[in-house]
């Protein structure tokens, strides 16, 4: 497994075929995200993730992009 931080919001995760757990797709997605979050110490509060993956000759390559979610603002009334 190789984890490469491309920039502040993008991480590339390379897994060999034998490192990929034999689980359903949803559990695999959560597994990949948890690896990246724990390895890079990411702050996941108010964030969305875009996960893209391709199969390579040796295994799989995943690109994880962190997107900030919408900001919420409160409107204050003047007293």
pTM for the predicted model, two decimal places: 0.72
Q: Are 8 and 28 in contact (CB under 8 A)?
A: no
**Taking the chain (79 residues) in consecutive chunks of 10 residues, what is each chunk's mean pLDDT?**
88 88 84 84 78 89 82 71
The torsion region of residue 46 among left (phi > 0), alpha (psi -120 to 50) and beta comes to: left
pLDDT at 12: 92
The helix (H) or strand (E) run that includes residue 12 is: strand 10-16
Q: Are 61 and 11 in contact (CB under 8 A)?
A: no
pLDDT at 61: 92
């Amino acid at each position: 497994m190789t984890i490469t931080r491309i920039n502040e919001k993008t991480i590339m995760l390379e897994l060999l075929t034998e490192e990929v757990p034999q689980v359903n797709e949803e559990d695999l997605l959560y597994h990949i995200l948890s690896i990246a979050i724990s390895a890079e110490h990411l702050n996941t509060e108010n964030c969305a993730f875009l996960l893209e993956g391709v199969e390579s000759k040796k295994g799989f390559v995943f690109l994880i992009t962190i997107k900030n979610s919408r900001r919420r603002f409160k409107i204050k009334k003047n007293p």
